[in-house]
Each structure stands twice: as C-alpha cells, then as structure tokens.
Amino acid sequence: MARRALITGITGQDGSYLAEHLLREGYEVWGLVRGQANPRVSRVRQLLQDVRLVRGDLLDQGSLISAVEKVQPDEVYNLGAISFVPMSWEQAELTAEVTGMGVLRMLEAIRVCSGITASRGAGSGQIRFYQASSSEMFGQVRETPQNERTPFHPRSPYGVAKTYGHFLTQNYRESYGMYAVSGILFNHESPRRGAEFVTRKVSLGVARIKLGLADELRLGNLEARRDWGFAGDYARAMHMMLQAAEPEDYVIGTGRTQSVRELVEAAFGAAGLDWERYVVCDQALHRPAEVDLLCADPKKARTQLGWEPTVTFEELVAMMVEADLNLLAGGGDPHQDSSWP
Ligand code: NAP
Ligand code: G4F
C-alpha cells in the first residue's frame, strides 16, 4: 500500500515542490487547505491534480485532529505558517498563533490520534513529523557558518515563533518518544516564490523594467546577506530527513552567502540591464531589527543524509528572471496567476 503524507502549507512554494516530490516517490499525498473559498487552492488543483485535499486550519485544534483521523498519514510535514518576516511585526499575535502555536496543535493532533501519553510513548509504526524550522532563528548570529549547535537569537516575532515551534518539536521527541524532527532551512527560492520576498520582487522588477512596464525598483537594505538555494532541492531534504533511522534535526543550505546587492547585480545582469540605473533605496523598507548575515554549514545533512544542493545561486537567479520574463510577456499576473511553472 502507498505511504500517506499530509502536508500543511500545500498552497505555498515549498508545499508544491514537496507534493511533486512525494508523488514521484509513490506517496498518496494529502494537502491541508484552509478557508471556505481560498483562491490559492485552484493553483494546487491545476498543478497537483493527484493531491487530495482536506480542510483544516493551524488555528483550529479540532480541525487538525479531524484531518489526521481522516487521512491516517504515515508522515506529516508542517509547512503552514505566516512566513513573511515584515508581516510578523504588523501581526505579531497572529504570527505567534499560526507559526508558533500551530506547531503545538499539529503535534497534539498526532499525539491524541496515536494514543500517545507520557507513560505510553510512541512505538514503531508511528506517524513521523517534520517541522519547517528556519535560519531566522539564528538571527543575530553567534558564529558563521551556522550549524545545528549554533545558539539562537531571533530578531523578529516570526523568528521567535519559529524558535518556539523548534523547541516544542524537540520536546515532543524527548517527552513522548515521537519521531519528530526539524529542518533548519536557509532561504530557498524559485519561480513559485511569493512576490513579497526579495528574490522574487527583484526577478519580477527586472522583468517589468525589461518589458517597459516599470522604470524603477524600490528596495530596502542592500547589505543584508543570505544563503540562497533552490526550493526543489530543499523539499527533497525534508523527505530525506523523515527517512533517517533516528529522528534528528538538520541544517539545510548551500554554504555560500550573497548580499541583496549581489542578488540585484546578478538579476539585472541576467537581463542585460545595469541595476544602478533602476534601483531606488527606500528607508521605509528597512526592518525594525535586521538579520545581517546568514550562511549555512550543511555538513551534517551531507554526511548523514547524502543531501546536496543541485542549483547554484547564479543558476537560480537566471531561472527566476527567465520565468518572470516569460510570465509577464505572456500577460500573466504573478499575484493572480493560477499556472505555476
Ligand atoms: P509560503 O509560500 O508563504 O506558504 C505558507 C503556507 O502556509 C501557505 O500554504 C498558507 O496557506 C499556509 N498557511 C498560512 N496560514 C495558515 C493557517 N492558519 N493554517 C494552515 N495553513 C496556513 O511559505 P514557503 O516559502 O512555502 O515556506 C514553507 C514553510 O517553511 C513555512 O513554514 C516557512 O516559514 C518555512 N521556511 C521557509 C523558508 C524559505 O526560504 N522559503 C526558509 C525556512 C523556513 P494559504 O494559502 O491558506 O495562505
Ligand atoms: O526575502 P526576504 O523577505 O526573506 P527573509 O526575511 O530572509 O525570510 C525568508 O527566509 C527565512 C529563512 O531565513 C524564512 F524563514 C522566511 O519564512 C522567509 O522565507 O528578505 C531577505 C533580505 C532581508 O534582509 C531584507 O531586509 O532582503 C532584504 N530586503 C531588502 N529589500 C528586502 C527588500 N526584503 C524584502 N522582502 N523586500 C525588499 O524590498
């Protein structure tokens, strides 16, 4: 019988790549979707026709219990979150509820449905749980590069909520013997990335300027550095983590770091444009507290899981610029578009 996976955040970037990967691996894939008329669900229905959908919300404990009871998954991937860092200052409480408390509700749903208590721990054949932890937990970094033992110093309500979810996942593993792991993933991007994140904002900006649809691109802090990889590679890592004999946490990243300025240079360069003619620095886009430098040490994932990234930073930027040139030249709308590449 096919193994069954339940994914929260199926309408997001990572949910789509993970669902594709698991379908290729022969899984029966279920996606949790929220709302009574969520417009992003049509995107999932078009791209991922073999994915089954179940209604539920990370804010609603009962709905998660019902979803786990209905799907009877072998693996649960908790990707659902308020994931845009600036929004976490504007809606800090909602971020804590979805991105932080949502992890507790999902773990509780698994625990209750599996009949696990402190005295009767999880046995073999239990549901395996993956939590989408983030390099934002490192925040004001204590060392570079960052590995699984680097202390956390989150710099946003989002980072704090992720840190709660991370420690809670570890705690359920230790308290109940559950197979619960966190992937500490560094920034990963693709042509399916939300338009609010800097890589996609830049690739869309470049495409608009190249096609004569805009004449400037307003950005915030150009000096921040990130370790950017391709989302498809990172979805593969999530699955690999849940196949390991022992439940452990892993850092996933490329080990290279680039500044936003270097990203901009590469993206405009890919379209044959000089960025300095178009980019406007806007103080209003700076954050109350910035994460200045992220750079992964993914050695553990490489040696224990055999995971390697396959797409370089330069290839990723070129892929995103090309995809957005094609999208906009074809009259597509990145905010409405229901056909993902
Ligand atoms: P994304 O594109 O922003 O997707 C977020 C998903 O969360 C969407 O499917 C959204 O569904 C869902 N969601 C929001 N509120 C929810 C709720 N109340 N109940 C259930 N689902 C809800 O994010 P992503 O880039 O794919 O990232 C996936 C996960 O990895 C997130 O947890 C993110 O924080 C984490 N992460 C991402 C990165 C990265 O670089 N991409 C790095 C580290 C960690 P709707 O369509 O219903 O809004
Ligand atoms: O693309 P970003 O918004 O991503 P950020 O804040 O690093 O968070 C992403 O990666 C995390 C993993 O480390 C995830 F956990 C999280 O869910 C999300 O996927 O911003 C990247 C950098 C920041 O330093 C920001 O200040 O780009 C800088 N930046 C400069 N101008 C900008 C802009 N960011 C955005 N979004 N928009 C700008 O105009």
CATH of the domain at 235: 3.40.50.720
Whether 67 and 156 share a structural domain = yes
Structure confidence at residue 46 (pLDDT): 83
Going by DSSP bridges, is the β-strand pair 28-33/52-55 parallel, antiparallel, or unpaired? parallel
**Residue 137, φ and ψ in degrees, nearest 5:** -65, -30
Cβ–Cβ < 8 Å for 141, 153: yes
Q: For the residues 37-63, what does the mean pLDDT come to?
A: 92
Q: Report the C-alpha gap between 254 and 223 in whole angstroms.
A: 19
Structure confidence at residue 118 (pLDDT): 85
User: Tokens 């698994």 — which residue?
Assistant: 110
> Which residue puts its alpha carbon closest to atom 3 of ligand 2?
197
Whether 12 and 152 share a structural domain = yes
Strand partners, 251: 184
Task: State if pTM tops 0.95.
Answer: yes
Cβ–Cβ < 8 Å for 259, 222: yes
Whether 137 and 213 share a structural domain = no
Residues 225-251: tens digit of each pLDDT: 999 999 999 999 999 999 999 999 999
Whether 68 and 28 share a structural domain = yes
Q: Name the closest ligand to CA 159.
A: 2
Helix ranges (DSSP H) in the chain: 13-24, 41-47, 61-71, 85-90, 92-95, 102-113, 157-176, 198-210, 231-243, 260-270, 299-300, 313-329
Whether 121 and 70 share a structural domain = yes
Ligand 2: residues within 6 Å at CB?
Answer: 83, 85, 134-136, 186-187, 196-198, 201, 219-221, 224, 226, 260, 285, 287, 290-291, 294
Q: Is 134 a catalytic residue?
A: yes
User: Tokens 């792991």 — which residue?
Assistant: 181
Give the rounded distance of the alpha carbon of 283 from its chain centre: 27
Give a yes or no: residue 148 inside a domain.
Answer: yes
Give a yes or no: residue 282 inside a domain.
Answer: yes
Q: Name the closest ligand to CA 238.
A: 1
Among 15, 105, 107, smallest CA distance to 59 is for 105
Residue 338 binned pLDDT confidence (cut-offs 50, 70, 90): low
3-state SS class at 107: helix
> Which residue puts its alpha carbon closest to atom 28 of ligand 1?
79
Whether 90 and 198 share a structural domain = no
Neighbours of 158 (CB within 10 A): 26
Helix 102-113 and helix 157-176, axial crossing angle in degrees, nearest 10: 20
Residue among 14, 134, 166, 226 whose CB has most ligand 2 atoms within 8 A, to mutate: 226
Give a yes or no: residue 339 inside a domain.
Answer: no
Give a yes or no: residue 309 inside a domain.
Answer: yes
Q: Name the closest ligand to CA 85.
A: 2
Q: For the residues 54-79, what does the mean pLDDT come to?
A: 98
Give a yes or no: residue 338 inside a domain.
Answer: no
Whether 63 and 51 share a structural domain = yes
Give a yes or no: residue 55 inside a domain.
Answer: yes
Out of 83, 133, 134, 190, the active site residue is: 134
Give a yes or no: residue 166 inside a domain.
Answer: yes
Residue 94 sits in which domain range? 4-188+229-252
Domains identified in the chain, total number: 2
Whether 202 and 311 share a structural domain = yes
Whether 180 and 222 share a structural domain = no
Whether 121 and 244 share a structural domain = yes
Q: What is the CATH number of the domain that holds 305?
A: 3.90.25.10
Residues 130-184: tens digit of each pLDDT: 999 999 999 999 999 999 999 999 999 999 999 999 999 999 999 999 999 999 9
Buried b / exposed e over 85-102, threshold 16 CB at 10 Å, is bebbeeebeebbbbbbbb
Residues 95-131: tens digit of each pLDDT: 999 999 999 999 999 999 999 998 887 777 799 999 9
